[in-house]
């Protein structure tokens, strides 16, 4: 049975172990669609080019970089993650793209964000909110650091509800993906944890309720790619 202990040290250790292959496996296992999901999430923020964006669970900084690449993009992005090796890969990408003046990567926990209240204009999370030990606390923290009028965009996996799609997805997610991930990363636990954590995470309706309980308004939950991923958007009114 897969261990779903989400203590920060355990999750950080798991992602540190797969950091070197993480980007390659994301492209391979999603057939490259993950990059389109990220671009869609950034477009939902309707950036003007002046915003300060906070990217939580930034990992190797893919979504943070997408926020800077958008046209118009963010003026500045701070990426936060508690996995140091993932941040190291992100820093290499940032330096290669000469983004370091506009992109800062910080080691920290999404449930205790190292940022002042009301200090950012947007918060993003891509496929990381389910890995936080206390989802409600993380959403409370997102609300706290957002300035009034600020927006949030969260990408997260979900279990499709259409019967045929659901069956095919569950077969791929539970049987094919873990085998490929383990073969390439040499880390069995990480790619067993992935499908288990998705199945254990809040349903779209439940996550909308969590956002509402944190104080957010104008909440939407948009299914992407047959409902295997949802984009949640909300605003601090």
pLDDT tens-digit profile of 194-213?
889 999 999 999 999 999 99
Helix (H) or strand (E) holding 151: strand 146-157
Query: Which residue(s) pair with 155 in the sheet?
Result: 126, 231
Q: Which residue has the tokens 């030990």?
A: 133
Query: Of 106, 73, 112, which Cα lies nearest the Cα of 91?
Result: 106
pLDDT one-digit tens code per residue, 90-109: 999 999 999 999 999 999 99
Q: Does residue 188 lie in a domain region?
A: no
Number of domains in the chain: 1
Q: Does residue 100 lie in a domain region?
A: yes
pLDDT one-digit tens code per residue, 3-62: 688 888 999 999 999 999 999 999 998 999 999 999 999 999 999 999 999 999 999 999
- Is the pLDDT at 2 greater than 80, yes or no? no
**Which residues contact residue 101 at a Cβ distance below 8 angstroms, ignoring those fewer than 6 apart?**
none
Q: Does residue 168 lie in a domain region?
A: no
Instruction: Give the structural domain span for 155.
Output: 8-159+202-235
Q: Does residue 50 lie in a domain region?
A: yes
pLDDT one-digit tens code per residue, 158-177: 999 999 999 999 999 889 99
CATH number of the structural domain spanning residue 128: 3.40.50.150
In angstroms, the Cα distances linking 57 to 46, 61, 64, 108 are: 21, 9, 10, 9
Predicted TM-score of the model (pTM): 0.95
Query: Of 135, 160, 131, which Cα lies nearest the Cα of 224?
Result: 160
């Amino acid at each position: 049975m897969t261990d779903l202990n989400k203590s920060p040290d355990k999750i950080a250790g798991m992602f540190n172990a797969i950091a070197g292959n993480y980007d390659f496996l994301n492209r391979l296992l999603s057939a490259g669609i993950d990059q389109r999901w990220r671009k869609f999430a950034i477009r939902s923020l309707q950036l003007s080019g002046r915003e300060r964006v906070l990217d939580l669970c930034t990992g190797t900084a893919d979504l943070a970089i997408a926020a800077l690449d958008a046209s118009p993009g963010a003026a500045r992005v701070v990426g936060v993650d508690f996995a140091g090796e993932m941040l190291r890969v992100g820093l290499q990408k940032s330096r290669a793209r000469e983004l370091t003046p506009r992109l800062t990567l910080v080691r920290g926990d999404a449930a205790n964000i190292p940022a002042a209240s009301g200090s950012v204009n947007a918060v993003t999370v891509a496929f990381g909110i389910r890995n936080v030990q206390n989802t409600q606390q993380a959403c409370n923290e997102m609300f706290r650091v957002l300035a009034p009028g600020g927006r949030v965009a969260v990408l997260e996996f979900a279990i499709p509800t259409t019967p045929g799609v659901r069956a095919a997805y569950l077969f791929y997610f539970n049987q094919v993906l873990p085998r490929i991930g383990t073969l390439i990363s040499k880390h069995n636990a990480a790619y067993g944890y992935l499908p288990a954590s998705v199945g254990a995470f809040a349903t779209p309706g439940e996550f909308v309720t969590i956002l509402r309980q944190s104080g957010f308004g104008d909440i939407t939950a948009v299914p992407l790619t047959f409902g295997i991923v949802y984009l949640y958007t909300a605003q601090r009114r």
